[in-house]
Each structure stands twice: as C-alpha cells, then as structure tokens.
Structure 1
Amino acid sequence: MPSDFALKTLNTVHRTLLRVSGGRIGRQAIGMPVLELVTTGRRSGRSRAVMLTSPMRDGEAYVVVASRGGDDQHPAWFLNLRDEPRVQVAVGGGARQPMLASIATPDQRARLWPQITARHQNYANYQKRTRREIPLVLLGPVG
C-alpha cells in the first residue's frame, strides 16, 4: 500500500494534469472515468478533495470503491462521507456539483460487486488482501 504522502502526491499531480490540459488529459484511468470527490473532514470540518475512479454507474449515481488498495483501514474520504454524506463531485475535470453519498446496502453491494470485479479484476485482488469488506459508495444527485 502506498503511503499517505504518495497518495496525496498522485492526487495533486492528477488534479494538476486535468486543470492544465483543460480536462483533455486524466479524464479516465484504467478505462474508468475519474472524478474529484470533495468531502468535509470529520475532525477538521475542512474540505478534503481526492481523485477517484468510478468503475460503473447505477442509474444516475456514480459508484466508487473504498478499497484503499486493499488496506485493512478504510480510506479517510470514506470515513468523512460516512459522517457527512453531503459532498461535491467533479467528473472528468468539470465543475463541482453537489451530490449525496450513500454507502451501498448489503443487497446493493451483492448486486454491484460482481459487476465491478468482472470488469476490473484489481478490485477483486484488493478484497483478497484485506479482512474488511470493501464498501461501495453511490454518489447521486441531491434531492
């Protein structure tokens, strides 16, 4: 698992590429759309942005995987949105839009997980590395 410093550096480089290229470079990664998720820090109360891939959509919602590369700890962004589900999302370098995050129910996960891992084996490999069940999060329109 990369260090927090390495992950933050990669996020910064990715965000910069999107901005400098006007969204032409970095809109997709490994065949998935890239989005910027902005959460509210659960302890600091400050905005926290992270670049993520979305392996699929479920209706209007973007689905993201809280894998943290198969680490035994949940990613900070997941803990933040668990406590405050009102988030902002920018897809492919576009403008940020308010969205509501919801953690997939067991039934939703049972339906979505096989679809995700069939298309993107890396997520199945991450699940094998950890004892925790990797959560799925749906990012959908507000209201």
Structure 2
Amino acid sequence: MVKAPSSSSPWWTIQRRLARLNKALFSATRGRVGATYFGAPVLLLDHVGRRTGQARTNPLIYLDDAPNLVVVGSKGGTDAHPHWFHNLMAMDSTEVELPGGVRRRVRPRLADGTEREALWSRLVALYRPYATYANRTDRRIPVIVLEPAPDHSGSSATHH
C-alpha cells in the first residue's frame, strides 16, 4: 500500500494553505465564494481546541443527507485522525455555517456498519480524492454524521 505524504510534506502545506484561503473566502462572502472545493460543497465547522480551549473553524466538504450533514475525518496524516475530528467528537454539539450564512447547531456521531458504507460511497462520488486517500492509509477514515441539535434556548436550529 502506498502511504500518504507526511503531514509536513509540501503537498500537505499546499492543502492547508488552500483550506485557509477557502475558509477566508467563505467567511468574507457568506459562502458566495468558497462554497465549493474542487466542485464539492463546503461548510465551515466550528470547534474548540481540547488543549488550548481556542475557538477554531475548518472548511470541510460535506454531503447534505437532510436533515443531517455528513463529513469525513480525512487529512490527519497517514496514522492519525485530524485534530478537528478529536475536538469535534469531544463536544456535545457545535455549529456549522452553510453557504448563504445559514448556521445550524449540530451534534456529531460516527457512522458505522452499513450506514458508514452507504455514506462513504456517496461521499466518494461527491469528491473522488477520498477514495485515493483511503487507499494510501491503513487508517479507517471516519465518517461523521452531524445531526440537528437543539440550540441553546432549547428550540430546534433554524434551517433556512
């Protein structure tokens, strides 16, 4: 099996820079620019660093599986899940921003078994590099379902 480039390789450096640019464009234009990454739809995921307590936002490719959103825990290097994945899974709920400035409160859960396989095939159809990445690592890449979560006032999140 061919291994993915190390997380410090020039390839990953370029990926990180593209993600930062994508996030900046998305945030500045409320998703009018930066709402896709190589043709796949993008959302912004808010999370809090487990060690630092610092608020962070990552642009992620997503699948709209209404009422859920689905993301993939890729780009963590060959042997480790990405930091945002660990941060997200440590949280009861968080928010995502969709194109148009629409914010949703969500709670994460891992997809497993037949649900994971069905979602994985749809995600790969949406963004082919996921399959290539999966072939370069022995790590089972997590599929995360972001389910609607009640907002802080106890009512359901607004879906525009």
Q: Secondary structure at the match of 1:130?
A: coil
Unaligned 5+ segments in structure 2 are 151-160
Q: Aligned match of 2:127 in 120, 123, 138? A: 120
Write the mapping of 1:20-99 to structure 2, written as runs, cut at 5 A: 20-54=28-62, 56-68=63-75, 71-92=78-99, 94-99=101-106
Residue 13 of structure 1 corresponds to 21
Kindly state the Cα deviation for residue 99 of structure 1 after the two structures are TM-superposed: 1.2
Which amino acid in the other structure matches residue 61 of structure 2?
T
Residue 138 of structure 1 corresponds to 145
Verify the 8 A CA contact 1:70 1:127 in the aligned structure 2: no
Verify the 8 A CA contact 1:40 1:48 in the aligned structure 2: yes
Question: Aligned equivalents of 1:14 and 1:123: distance in 2?
Answer: 18
Aligned CA RMSD, in angstroms, stands at: 2.3
Residue deviations 1:71-94 (CA, integer Å, cap 9, x gap): 321111101111114111001251
Kindly state the Cα deviation for residue 44 of structure 1 after the two structures are TM-superposed: 1.9
Kindly state the Cα deviation for residue 37 of structure 1 after the two structures are TM-superposed: 0.3
Unaligned 5+ segments in structure 1 are none
Give the total of aligned pairs: 142
Question: Aligned equivalents of 1:119 and 1:16: distance in 2?
Answer: 23
TM-score in terms of structure 2 length: 0.75
Runs of at least 4 residues off by over 6 Å: none
Verify the 8 A CA contact 2:45 2:96 in the aligned structure 1: yes
Question: Aligned equivalents of 2:14 and 2:100: distance in 1?
Answer: 21
Verify the 8 A CA contact 2:40 2:126 in the aligned structure 1: no
Name the CA shift for 1:87/1:121 in 2 (closer, same or farther; >3 Å).
same
Q: Percent identity?
A: 35
Verify the 8 A CA contact 1:69 1:126 in the aligned structure 2: no
